[in-house]
A and B are shown apart, each in its own frame.
Chain A
Amino acid sequence: MKIAVSAVGNTLEAQVDRRFGRCAYFLIVDSETLEFDAFSNEASSAMGGAGIQAAQMIAKKEAKVVITGNVGPNAYGTLSAAGIEIITGASGTIREAVEKYKKGELKKTGAPTVKGHFGMGGGQGQGRGKQR
């Protein structure tokens, strides 16, 4: 089974990126063999709808599970619609997160864990309050 993990780097030893839509990389990891492909996340610089774009990419890669730190409402809605299981609150390296998931130590979330624009740092997001 393919698991998508948001990551700050492009190896299994990289840390889990706690942002979903605007994370640096996605690793698509085979849960059995731990073979993986790393993709730099094009949605990280999206003008808007980064969570939606990232979810679209992950659905296309046919991942069945997403492991990340937090998901916003649009990422949650789209991943759920795509039938993808969403695991939040993950930390440590990608390898550790996948191992923990396999042991059943990570819980799936039934709701968004943050509001929109969570991963946008101090900057103003598209359409948040006044557009500046």
Chain B
Amino acid sequence: MILSIASGKGGTGKTTVAVNMALSLENVQLLDCDVEEPNDHLLLQPKIEETFPVYVRVPNINLEKCDYCAKCAEFCAFNALFVANKQIMVFPEICHNCGGCTIVCPRKAISEKRRKIGRVKKGFADGVELVFGELSVGEPMAVPVIREVKRQMRDDRNVIVDSPPGTACPVVESVYGSDYCVLVTEPTPFGLYDLKIAVEVIEKLKIPFGVVVNQAGIGDRKVYEYCKENQIPVLLEIPYSRRIAELYSSGIPFVLEMPEWREKFQELFSAVERRASG
């Protein structure tokens, strides 16, 4: 079972749901794909057992072979290469690492070189295997790091994927291949607006999904009305509670102090399993 936790809006509680659910289940691997701001490890405090770098491959020009024909620059959809006036320039930050320029170069003047853009860490905490990525500061492309985190996925465990917020490439890369997606939202106009966009994305990806409402009790009823109208199941509500907020702000997953919640997360997971297979 691969369950992804996503949301359009940031700060709705993806990490809260992902970490507390992971701690409530057996045999779990948690993948924190929010590689720009991974937070799961702050709540779990794992013992890091392995760290390895993430590289992308960018073009490396052999100037002795290049005749400035510009076929590489014409091919590149992202304009990472520029050729004019017997000069060639490479913009590695723009390169999406497709390798196409090395293929189209008629003089085989382009090879690839590695460029480090981040790292992946693995560790264990309370029986949960955590894998998380860290995108290097200033790097614009999160997707290759997310891909490397997901490459660590094990098929003998229940996998929870904690997605970054938003609805663009990093989210698609994170949730792609999930059996089910839980969209975490808050019952406010902001939560609703971003939820609707997230729903569009998840529907396009044809992943079955449901909603968890966090901070239930604040805001209005519009998220519930939207879910009802669109036949989207509301799988769980986490109340707006001082106790939960206090634990969160101390960096403590609330199931550790409020064990009655383990059962609710187990039920949530069972419900998700049923819906994913049905």
Interface positions of A (Cβ within 8 A of B): 43, 46-50, 52-53, 55-56, 59-60, 74, 77-78, 81-83, 126-128, 130-132
Contacts and interface: CB of A to CB of B under 8 A. Distances in A.
The number of chain B residues touching the other chain, given as a range, is 20 to 34
Interface hub of A43, A55, A128 (most chain B Cβ within 10 A): A55
Interface in B151-178: 164, 166-170
B14 to A, nearest CB: 14
B168 A131 contact: yes
A78 B142 contact: no
Contacts, number: 70
A49 B73 CA distance: 11
A66 to B, nearest CB: 12
Nearest to A51: B79
Contacts of B140: 126-128, 131
A56 B87 contact: no
Nearest to A125: B140
Contact of A82 (B78, B84, B91): B84
Interface of B: 36, 70, 73, 77-80, 82-85, 87, 89, 91, 93-94, 140-142, 164, 166-170
B164 to A, nearest CB: 8
Query: Per DSSP, are chain B's interface residues mostly helix, strand or loop, or mixed?
Result: loop
A72 to B, nearest CB: 12
B142 A82 contact: no
Given A49-B78, A126-B140, A131-B168, A81 B93 contact: no
Contacts of B78: 46-49, 126
B142 A52 contact: no
6 contacts: A50-B79, A52-B94, A74-B91, A82-B87, A131-B170, A132-B167
Given A78-B89, A127-B140, A55 B166 contact: no
Given A81-B89, A127-B93, 13 more contacts: A47-B77, A47-B78, A48-B79, A49-B91, A52-B79, A56-B70, A56-B73, A56-B83, A60-B84, A78-B89, A130-B36, A130-B166, A131-B168
Contacts of A53: 79
A131 B89 contact: no
A98 B68 CA distance: 31
B85 A81 contact: yes
A109 to B, nearest CB: 19
B80 A59 contact: no
Nearest to B10: A130
Contacts of A59: 84-85
Contacts of A131: 140-142, 166, 168-170
In this complex, which of B84, B87, B167 has the most chain A Cβ atoms within 10 angstroms of its Cβ? Answer: B84
A77 B164 CA distance: 34
A53 B77 CA distance: 10
